[in-house]
């Protein structure tokens, strides 16, 4: 069966930096796929080219049979791709609820913004402005906003940011549950190895813009190229 998302030979440069260097990987429908790598490896850039924030210099991205690079930016969500941002991108003066409603504007999911806030455990904060809420809470608001568009593919950029050890464990179970509840496919960028390895069906590894490994969590963890890439990388400690 064809993959839901195919990234094919994608290159993206920023001046002299090759953020993505001929990267190819597939995300099969229904899977949780981890995308890992040391800081600066190109993970967020991969999300930015998939969501059309950045145009790749070379390569193709096919989503659900459509050439995403020919899809206007504003139609990417309509096609069924939604994301959260590493550093959170919410409207600070809008309420939590209104931020979630924005997700339904491009494409409406099955559940209302109110239901989604309840799903992520934030009903009590619906009418609070987003500004000033803790980072981990804002990441949950973003997740609800992404779900509001009823995505087929959910891109999560470091969803465990701002969470303590116990909360990271809960997040893993939560992501597995939402895959089932929303019939979604998940592409997950995370530095928390226990989380990624614990819930991913397959994992791809980037290092300096190149895809250096891919396979089951067990295969990737044993891969000498991966171990070498992470040696001395403090962000992998968790």
In the complex, minimum distance from the CB of residue 87 to ligand ATP, in angstroms, rounded to a whole number: 9
Helix (H) or strand (E) holding 219: helix 217-222
In the complex, minimum distance from the CB of residue 201 to ligand ATP, in angstroms, rounded to a whole number: 21
Which of the residues 57 through 116 are near Mg ion (CB under 5 A)? 86
In the complex, minimum distance from the CB of residue 9 to ligand ATP, in angstroms, rounded to a whole number: 17
Say whether residue 176 binds Mg ion (CB under 5 A). no
Say whether residue 6 binds Mg ion (CB under 5 A). no
Angle between helices 135-148 and 96-106 (to 10 degrees): 30
- Cβ-Cβ contacts under 8 Å for 10 (sequence gap 6 or more): 20, 22, 23, 24, 46, 49, 56, 58, 59, 60, 61
Helix boundaries (H) for 1-95: 43-50, 76-79
Interface residues toward ligand ATP, by CB under 6 A: 14, 17, 19, 37, 39-45, 86
Q: Closer to ligand ATP at the Cβ: 3 or 53?
A: 53
User: Residue 17 binds which entry of ligand ATP, Mg ion, none, with Cβ cut-offs from 5 to 8 Å by kind?
Assistant: ligand ATP
Say whether residue 194 binds Mg ion (CB under 5 A). no
The rounded Cα 50 to chain-centroid distance in angstroms is 10
User: Residue 213 binds which entry of Mg ion, ligand ATP, none, with Cβ cut-offs from 5 to 8 Å by kind?
Assistant: none
Q: Which of 7, 34, 38, 44 binds Mg ion (CB under 5 A)?
A: 44
Strand 66-67's sheet: what is its strand order? Answer: 17-27, 5-14, 58-63, 66-67
Binding-residue total with Mg ion (CB under 5 A): 3
- Where on the chain is the footprint of Mg ion (CB under 5 A)? 43-44, 86
């Amino acid at each position: 069966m064809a993959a839901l998302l195919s990234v094919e030979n994608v290159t993206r440069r920023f001046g002299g930096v090759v953020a993505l260097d001929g990267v190819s990987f597939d995300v099969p429908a229904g899977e949780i796929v981890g995308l890992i790598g040391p800081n600066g490896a190109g993970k967020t850039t991969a999300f930015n080219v998939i969501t059309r924030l950045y145009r790749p210099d070379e390569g193709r991205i096919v989503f659900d049979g459509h050439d995403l690079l020919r899809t206007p930016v504003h139609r990417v969500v309509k096609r069924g791709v939604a994301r959260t941002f590493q550093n959170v991108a919410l409207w600070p003066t809008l309420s939590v609820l209104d931020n979630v409603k924005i997700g339904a504007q491009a494409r409406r999911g099955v559940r209302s913004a109110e239901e989604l806030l309840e799903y992520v455990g934030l009903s009590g904060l619906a009418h609070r402005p987003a500004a000033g809420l803790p980072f981990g809470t804002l990441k949950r608001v973003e997740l609800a906003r992404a779900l509001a568009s009823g995505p087929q593919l959910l891109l999560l950029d470091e969803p465990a940011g701002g969470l303590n050890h116990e909360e990271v464990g809960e997040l893993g179970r939560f992501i597995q549950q939402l895959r089932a509840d929303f019939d979604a496919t998940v592409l997950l960028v995370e530095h928390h190895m226990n989380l990624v390895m614990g819930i991913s069906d397959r994992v791809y590894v980037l290092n300096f813009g190149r895809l250096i490994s891919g396979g089951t969590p067990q295969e990737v963890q044993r891969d000498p190229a991966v171990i070498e890439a992470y040696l001395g990388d403090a962000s992998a400690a968790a």
